[in-house]
Structure 1
Amino acid sequence: MKKSELTKGEIGDFYWAYINLIPEDAELTDTLEKNTEEISKFLKSLPDEKWRYSYAPGKWSVLEIVQHLIDTDRIFQYRALSFTRNESKSLPGFDHDLYVLNSGAEKRTPSDLINEFRAVRESGLHLFRSFTDDMLARKGIMNDMTATARAIGFIMAGHALHHKDIISKRYL
């Protein structure tokens, strides 16, 4: 399934900012696999002193950003799974600031977070590879908007690129 096959009705406007960071001809599971490697390599290249740094009061540290990526991937994977299984209930949104505040990320090491990011993504890759094209096109409701499982996969990759860009511009 390629990104170019997505249509506007598959996800709310807010999420297109993430999806648009992915090339038009990108294939879903290949994108997730390459994105995992790209983000992991980038994170491993960060200087030790930047992991606890925050560029302004109230902004997340790099440790917290990586924990946010992990938490968000888990939530998006659950949503994609739910939609492929024809869940009819609306899935709630979540308060990402509250999740970060209660994550304990500041007590973790960079290598631990990178390893967990990779493990969560590997699990997600198995999940997305298990979906048929029909399953990927199934819709559900998340955070009061319609979405498809396939749009969610591209959001995951774009979301990670978005945060990589923020780290590059504001933390280094």
Structure 2
Amino acid sequence: MQVDDLTSEEYSEFYQGYINNIPEGQSLGMLFKSNIQDLKTITNSISHENLSYRYAEGKWSVAEILQHLIDVERIFQYRALCIARDDKTSLPGFDHDEYVIQSEAGARSLKSLTEEAEIVRNSGIALFSTFSEVVLKRKGVMSNAPASVRAIGFIIVGHTRHHINILQEKYL
């Protein structure tokens, strides 16, 4: 399964930018693994002192971006699990800015953020590896829009890629 297998009925237009961040011709499993390696490469180039750096007033710090990636990945894994299990509950949105404010990311070490990001990603890899082709195509509702399990996987990867690009362009 590759990103070009998705149809526009499998995700909200809101996520198109994340989907556009994904290279064609690679399986979701390979993308999950290469994506976390790319994030680890970035975190290896960050010093603990730079965790609080913000490139502009009102922008998230490096630590907050890393915590945001962890939080969002957990939320999207939960959403994928619900839809995979054919839960008919409409999955609500969440205020990512409020999550960042409440995260206390600035009190964490680079090592703890990096380790948690890798653990959460490995959990996602394990989760998605259990889904059959039928389950991956299953659709539910999240944030009042349709979403398939497989689209959620690609959104996770595209979202991480989006923030890797920001870190490279604005923070490093």
Q: Is TM > 0.5 for Structure 1 vs Structure 2? A: yes
Deviation at 1:74, TM superposition (A): 0.2
Q: Does 1:121 align with 2:118?
A: no
> What is the DSSP-based 3-state SS (H/G/I as helix, E as strand, rest coil) of the residue aligned with 2:93?
coil
- The amino acid across from 1:47 in the alignment is S
What are the superposed Cα offsets for residues 61-118 of structure 1, whole Å, 9 maximum, x if unpaired? 0000000000000000000001110011100000000000000100000110000000
> What is the DSSP-based 3-state SS (H/G/I as helix, E as strand, rest coil) of the residue aligned with 1:51?
helix
What are the superposed Cα offsets for residues 41-67 of structure 1, whole Å, 9 maximum, x if unpaired? 211112333211011121110000000
> What is the DSSP-based 3-state SS (H/G/I as helix, E as strand, rest coil) of the residue aligned with 1:75?
helix
Could you say which residue in structure 1 is the equivalent of 2:170? 170
Could you say which residue in structure 2 is the equivalent of 1:20? 20
Q: Is the 8 A contact 2:86 2:140 kept in 1?
A: yes
Scaled by the length of structure 1, what TM-score is found?
0.97
Whole-angstrom CA distance in 1 between matches of 2:14 and 2:44: 30
4+ residue stretches of structure 1 with deviation over 2 A? 47-50
Could you say which residue in structure 1 is the equivalent of 2:44? 44
Q: How many matched pairs?
A: 172
Whole-angstrom CA distance in 2 between matches of 1:43 and 1:140: 34
Whole-angstrom CA distance in 2 between matches of 1:38 and 1:170: 16
Could you say which residue in structure 1 is the equivalent of 2:33? 33
Q: Does 1:76 align with 2:76?
A: yes
Scaled by the length of structure 2, what TM-score is found?
0.97
Deviation at 1:168, TM superposition (A): 1.3
> What is the DSSP-based 3-state SS (H/G/I as helix, E as strand, rest coil) of the residue aligned with 1:22?
coil
Paired-residue identity, %: 47
What are the superposed Cα offsets for residues 11-45 of structure 1, whole Å, 9 maximum, x if unpaired? 01110111111112120111101111111121111
RMSD: 0.9
Q: Does 1:102 align with 2:107?
A: no
- The amino acid across from 2:24 in the alignment is E
Q: Does 1:53 align with 2:90?
A: no
User: Structure 1, unaligned stretches of length 5 or more?
Assistant: none
Whole-angstrom CA distance in 2 between matches of 1:2 and 1:54: 35
Could you say which residue in structure 2 is the equivalent of 1:139? 139
Whole-angstrom CA distance in 1 between matches of 2:47 and 2:112: 15
